[in-house]
Structure 1
Amino acid sequence: MGSEMASNLQSHWKHFAQKLPPQLLYVKEELDLRKALIAIAVAAVVFTLFSMFASKNKKKFPPAVPGLPIVGNLLQLMDRKPHRSFTSWSEKYGPIFTIRTGLLNQVVITSSELAKEAMVTKYESISKRELGTSLNILTCQKTMVAMSDYGVEHRFLKKIVMANLLGPSPQRENRAIRASELEKMLESLHSELKSFPLSTCEVNVRQYIKEALFPFVLRQTFGRDIEEVHVAGLGSFSKWEIFDILVSEPLRGAILVDWRDFFPPLKRLFSNRALENEAKQIESRRSKVIKALIEEQRKNLAGKAIADYSYVDTLLANYQNLNDTQLLMSVWEPVIESSDTTVVTTEWTMFELASQPSKQERLYQEIREVVGDRPVTEDDLANLPYLTAVIKETLRKYTPVPLLPPRFVEQDIQIGGYDIPAGWHILINMYGINHDKKTWPEPDTWDPDRLLGDQKLDLGLNDFRVMPFGAGKRICAGITQAMYLIPMYVASFVQNFKWILPATEVHEEDTIFLTTHKLHPLKAIATPRSQQ
């Protein structure tokens, strides 16, 4: 029986060998069965690899930016402003192209239509975030709405923050808090200017934005403006030290780059303790301060009526199913997000208005015509179209998050007619979309007139030409709040003061942090309108 089987196998082998390429016909008839079987296995592997290669070649991949062996395009992205490089490359390679960063294949999209396809139409296939070492640490392994994978936990946590803090209804309820803190800030600025001769006081605009914003964030989150907190093992921290620990330090930590992120298999072989320790130290301080603030809320909760509950009180009373990490991140996330985009956009808007007196005067005259001598209010915003154009144009030019965190492709998909294999990553270049020369002539020029009367531009809700808050199911939860705060800050600054840039202030394009913070705080000379 055995000899008959061997004979049959050899016969099949001869028949099979006749169809092999000449270079594989080194097996002779006198080879024993074992060698023949080995040869068959080798041939099978060759043909399998050939088939895979042929199949791969049949696919239509996006154009590839040439790179180097092993490192790919990493050395071309060393300036930490990849969004600018991507925008430049899109002019040569088109609105969708591929790069290789180490062992990672990434698809870069710099087109509003293709971004819509990726973020809305094909969303289910790329709903998973792919974060680097530092962001994984700072987000407690993606336990926050903005950085989590889309799924049950994401929807649950987003529903909580929208229903109780950032949604339209709670934002309307918090209107008085916004107005109160804005009024305090304006009074403080007027007071400072009285101490200086006319037109000589250089105001730190960023600090005044923070003075209106951070107390509001604390009050809507914790129900009070926190002047100090004691943290066991660390000591006591003032309000602005709390700001640094909860906002500034995590923003700095978010851009720490771990070279191992580009070579994932090497993470098991090599450590990067310096980076990990720095990120963990930032996370530890953040967590300890948040936990101390939560414990203060917990102690005071028993004596409060439900009507007096703050956002954190509501979490403690009604969401006991949150684990410790979810509770911590649910408290911290709205603090950092509320304290970031609003500062970035308001500061850049004031820079442009102070740089262009005619546009500042045009905005001032619009406010005067609509509200007269009384202070501008949120009810007036709908009647200030030039103000709306000013804010939208700033969000276009100074995109707060120029490059969205990578999305992981979980299954083979097509975008723009190109094949995107599972296992690749997708990067949405928001900066490039907002600076697309085909959509925005002279995109580096700040010109609110280009958006005046453009009713369709809704910042990513239905129109995707400008998406400062993202789009689709992952659109930023704080969009409603931001579009109350930013216009009110800008309108109040312009209504109360005339702004000019000192000779020392230059138009710098450099930024810091993951978002486009101006490298140096804006210094501008403010003159009260009442003194003109």
Structure 2
Amino acid sequence: MGMSGELNHRGLAALAKTYGGLFHMKMGRIHMVAVSTAEMAREVLQTQDHVFSNRPANNSIRYLTYDRADMAFAHYGPFWRQMRKICVTKLFSRKRAGSWASAREEIDSFVKTLDSRVGSSVNVGETVLGLTKNITYRAAFGSVSRDGQGDFSGLLNIADFFPWLGWMNGRDLNRRLTNARGALDGFIDKIIDDHINKKNRKCNNNNNSEEEGEVEDDMVDELMEFYDENGNANNDLKSSSISITRDNIKALIMDVMFGGTETVASAIEWAMAELMKSPQDLKKVQQELAEVVGFDRKVNESDLEKLPYFKCVIKETLRLHPPIPLLLHETASEATINGYTIPAGARVMINVWAIGRDPTQWADPDKFDPSRFLEDGTPDFKGSNFEYIPFGSGRRSCPGMQLGLYGLELTVAHLCHSFNWELPDGMKPNELDMNDLFGLTAPRAVQLVAVPKHRLNIPLL
């Protein structure tokens, strides 16, 4: 196994068995530290959070984020705090009804599409990725029309540039980077210009702006409130002196595109694969849905809180398959952990995947067993139980957690309630390939293909 093979979640977990929950490696001039236990993760993400709050970025990432003009890769400090505040209070806030409505409507239309394919094999991985792209596109750009969606999907392949540890380079990479950034510029510039025109039209006919705003505001509209071409503070803002440039808007939209599509799609596909591999758990989920929802209507958002076993399935999926298996941090200054000195600028890899499967924290850790979350005192994923941190923890935890979780729960609930599922061509549950690929999100190595059958007494219109 080459060095790059050892730097994935599985390789690092294997090395941790020999070298412990905190070990150091050197790759060229780069110091790397791998964290594989809850206790060490707490030290990095809570006790010494201030030292470990930066994110490493190689040249590709710096180039694609307009030199860290975004939130995901900006260094910790006043600018990052402003960007985080915009994300938490504006883009991903529960008050931003548009994002949640986009998710609901797109999931609804997704279920109708599946209904038209009942009885035939469906590539669940592919269709679910299409769904999460649509949700993100709608939430970010508001446009129900699919104009530009092809460009958007093409841009998502920028995730190819995230073998972020810096050993990838060469002319081919540079050419692809330049093309990707050019496409991103053209695509988002047009969207920003459309939003500027929309804002000007609103100002000109102020009469119905209130109603319009309620219906139409999307994430770019929210960001336009803080927009100033020259980066001067926007004096119209009573609430803050935050000001962002066009590059910041592009870079934040990029965060939303990458943070909200592949991660959520991968989690939905893993949940369905685990349920199909364990038919007795799928049966329990469907029984719970039958009792709470019945067969005469589709599942609603308000049903989710009344489905305790279903919630456990989602939690167990996130434990075994965290959306981003390796969280990357970087030391802002020299630090000491457990008596070991970690130099400034070291890359710190927190192996969330290994921590979620640690046999000292979890009984039978590799087994899919949702009922473990029914027991009192099982950890929650909000970030303070370090044996279970699928969304990270501390300052750099995932700001879109609520929205991502909402898309994940609602989609899986619809899939389980609206359809019965069978594996194609007489395949047995234990024959399902449960391997993952090394990448930013560790998706399934083989996409899940399954056959939906009608389950409800009503047409899925």
Establish whether residue 246 from structure 1 lines up as the match of residue 155 from structure 2: yes
Over 3 Å counting, the alpha-carbon distance change for 1:80 and 1:525 in structure 2 is farther
Aligned to 1:21: none
Question: What does 1:270-419 align with in structure 2 at a 5 Å threshold?
Answer: 272-304=170-202, 305=209, 306-307=213-214, 308-320=216-228, 321-373=243-295, 374-411=297-334, 413-419=335-341
Looking at structure 1, the residues matched to 449 and 134 of structure 2 have their Cα atoms a distance apart, in angstroms, of: 22
Query: What amino acid is aligned across from residue 245 of structure 1 in structure 2?
Result: G
Q: Residue type matched to 1:77 in 2?
A: M
TM-score, with structure 1 as normaliser: 0.75
Counterpart contact for 2:313–2:370, Cα < 8 Å: yes
Kindly indicate whether the alpha-carbon contact (under 8 Å) linking 1:385 and 1:453 is maintained by their aligned counterparts in 2.
no
Q: Distance between the aligned counterparts of 1:76 and 1:442, measured in 2?
A: 30
Deviations 1:350-369 (A, max 9, x none): 11111221110110001111
1:224 to 128, 132, 143: 143
Task: Establish whether residue 182 from structure 1 lines up as the match of residue 90 from structure 2.
Answer: no
Q: Is the 8 A contact 1:406 1:427 kept in 2?
A: yes
- 2:275 is paired with a residue whose SS is helix
How far apart are the structure 1 equivalents of 2:310 and 2:73? 31
Partner Cα separation in structure 2 for residue 219 and residue 259 of structure 1? 35
The amino acid of 2:180's aligned partner reads I
How far off its partner does 1:258 sit? 4.1
CA contact 2:125–2:269 (8 Å) conserved in 1: yes
Secondary structure at the counterpart of residue 327 of structure 2:
coil
Q: CA deviation at 1:257?
A: 6.1
Distance, in Å, in 1 between the alignment partners of 2:319 and 2:388 is 6
Give the conservation status (yes or no) of the 8 Å contact 2:133–2:261.
yes
CA distance in 2, matches of 1:451, 1:407: 33
1:271-301 deviation per Cα after TM superposition (whole angstroms, max 9, x unaligned): 8333223223222222221112222222333
Q: TM-score normalized by structure 2? A: 0.86
Structure 2 gap ranges (5+) = 203-208, 229-242
Alignment match of 1:107 (pick from 27, 33, 37): 33
Residue pair 1:215, 1:225 contacting (<8 A) in 2 also: no
- The percent identity for this pair of structures is 28
Q: State whether residues 498 and 526 of structure 1, in contact with CA within 8 Å, keep that contact through their aligned partners in structure 2.
A: yes
Q: Give the one of 398, 402, 408 matched to 1:476.
A: 398
Question: Tell me, what secondary structure is at the counterpart of 1:100?
Answer: strand
For 2:450, the aligned partner's letter is A
The structure 2 residue matched to 1:148, chosen from 74, 77, 86, is 74
Identify the residue that residue 56 of structure 1 maps to in structure 2: none
**Counterparts of 1:140 and 1:281 in 2: how far apart (Å)?**
14
CA contact (8 A) 1:391 1:487 kept: yes
| 4+ residue segments displaced more than 4 Å | none
Structure 2 counterpart of 1:182, which letter? I
- With over 3 angstroms needed to count, the CA separation of the structure-2 counterparts of 1:252 and 1:509, relative to structure 1, is same
Gaps in structure 1 of 5+ consecutive residues: 1-74, 230-238, 261-270
C-alpha displacement of 1:386? 1.0
Paired positions, count: 429
CA contact (8 A) 1:397 1:446 kept: yes
2: CA distance, partners of 1:341 / 1:76? 26
User: What does the per-residue CA deviation read over 1:173-195, in whole Å, with 9 as the maximum and x for residues that have no partner?
Assistant: 543332222211111111222xx
Deviation at 1:455, TM superposition (A): 5.4
C-alpha distance 442-243 of structure 1, shift in aligned 2 (>3 A) = farther
Greater RCO (CA < 8 Å, at least 6 residues apart): 2
Corresponding position of 2:348 = 426
Q: CA deviation at 1:108?
A: 1.2
The AA in structure 2 aligned to 1:444 is D
Report the secondary structure of 1:301's partner residue.
helix
Name the counterpart of 1:491. 413
Please say which structure displays the higher CA radius of gyration: 1
Question: For the aligned residues, what is the CA RMSD?
Answer: 2.4
Letter of the structure 1 residue corresponding to residue 219 of structure 2: Y
Contact 1:430 1:468 in 2 (8 A): yes
Partner of 1:266: none
Deviations 1:404-427 (A, max 9, x none): 12413512x222343323343322
Alignment deviations for residues 317-354 of structure 1 (CA, whole Å, 9 cap, x no partner)? 44323122112112232232121221010001111111
Question: Are the aligned partners of 1:409 and 1:426 in contact in 2 as well (CA < 8 Å)?
Answer: no
Aligned to 2:454: 528
Whether the 8 Å contact between 2:56 and 2:330 is mirrored in structure 1 is: yes
| Contact map agreement 2:359 2:365 (CA 8 A) in 1 | yes
2:274/2:368 contact within 8 Å kept: yes
Q: Find the partner of 1:133 among 39, 54, 59.
A: 59
Superposed CA offset, 1:144-171 (max 9, x none): 212221111111111112222212322x
Q: Which amino acid counterpart does residue 183 of structure 1 have in structure 2?
A: D
